[in-house]
Amino acid sequence: MDRIYFDHSATTQVLPEVLETMLPCFTKFYGNASEPHTPGNEAFELLLKSRDTIASVINAKPEEIIFTSGGTESDNLAIKGVAEAYKKKGNHIITSSIEHPAVGNTCKYLEKVGYDVTYIPVDKNGVVNPKDVENAINSKTTLISIMHANNVVGSIQPIEEIGEIAKKRGIIFHTDAVQSFGTLKIDIEKLNVDLLSMSSHKLHGPKGVGALYKRKRVKITPLMHGGEHERGKRAGTENIPGIVGFAKAVEIAISEIDEKAKKLKELREYLVKGVLEEIDDVIYLGHPENRLPGHVSFAIKYVEGESIVLGLDNKRVAISSGSACASMKLEPSHVLLAMGIAPEIAQGSIRISMGRGNTEEEVNYFLEVLPPIVKRLREMSPLYPGK
């Protein structure tokens, strides 16, 4: 069996069709899109077309798309950009306790420079309650930032309801849709969002490119100052190969979105059933239904998630653990702790994120190799009571 890749929430392989679309942008259409000559115009046309593609799939206007270097920059631009632009109106930001560090650490930075941030808790399934968001609003609140789908446990957040609250109260609403864009259908009007972060490498596009949707009337202060690229909101010569590849990947993802979701959901349920049947003392993490279709997360008691990752890697299977590497020490994920999982149990978390190419045969292989790895690790654990 070839190597099995079950880590699509971390990143994905660039599709051959995407690469093929990108290649001429390095050699033939290499012009600077800001220049008025033919090579410049050719690059500009590609930029326009890509912008149209991204805008149309989320029901936005092309001028509301700002190309960036990826999800992290989009999150930073949205949050710091709004915080700074509306500083005179207020200094309070609401976010959740389960955000990706691209949002969480941006908020922590803003706290250091004088902003107040409220971190909304989540329930045991890793879901924010919109009422808690509403209750946290005060006269100084300028921004709410709650992610669409969580990267660690896959739970989908009630974005529509939170967006409605934000709209009613006249507060700008940002969502980090890095994990969901290309996997879940997104309509910015239905979701009631003003800003939405996207990243190309999570949906079989190239790394180092992404976008921020910004509703026209929303003001943001740019992170980078320079030329008038991206309507003055993101200076720097546009990464045409990356942007063109991103748009192609989006086109493909949207064309197969329903079929892919159905297949991945079936694989997910099959995998979950198999693991829960084969291994004792396992907790299925995240919302059982309302979650990303190919995303599975477990806490396996009496083992370290990282050891399972390494054990599976030896068997040519790539998954990830829920631990974050901080100061050379493995810390349990802040997401799991926020869900009320005890630290020693959170240490045993793993994430299996399947994608378009994965098969039932691969899941069968995974179900065959995982139980002996867990058994061996538990036998070495002084905490395991079942010895």
Q: Report the interface residues with ligand PLP, using CB under 6 A.
A: 70-72, 75, 100, 102, 147, 151, 176, 178-179, 199, 201, 210
Q: Cβ 204 to ligand PLP, closest distance in Å?
A: 13
Q: Cβ 102 to ligand PLP, closest distance in Å?
A: 4
Mapped onto helix, strand or coil, the DSSP state of residue 283 is: strand
- Whole-angstrom distance, CA of residue 252 vs CA of residue 17: 9
- Whole-angstrom distance, CA of residue 264 vs CA of residue 357: 10
With respect to ligand PLP, which residue has the nearer C-beta, 21 or 155?
A: 155
Q: Which of 325, 342, 380, 383 is catalytic?
A: 325
DSSP labels, 154-166: -BBP-HHHHHHHH
Query: Which residue in the shown chain puts its C-beta closest to ligand PLP?
Result: 71
Q: Cβ 283 to ligand PLP, closest distance in Å?
A: 22
**311 contacts 377 by C-beta, under 8 angstroms:** yes
Q: Cβ 95 to ligand PLP, closest distance in Å?
A: 12
Both tokens assigned to 51: 């912008």
**5 contacts 355 by C-beta, under 8 angstroms:** yes
∠ Cα 287 289 294 (to 5°) = 95
- Whole-angstrom distance, CA of residue 210 vs CA of residue 205: 9
Mapped onto helix, strand or coil, the DSSP state of residue 299 is: strand
With respect to ligand PLP, which residue has the nearer C-beta, 102 or 309?
A: 102
Provide φ and ψ at 53, rounded to 5°: -60, -50
325 tagged catalytic: yes
Q: Cβ 210 to ligand PLP, closest distance in Å?
A: 5
Give catalytic residue positions.
325
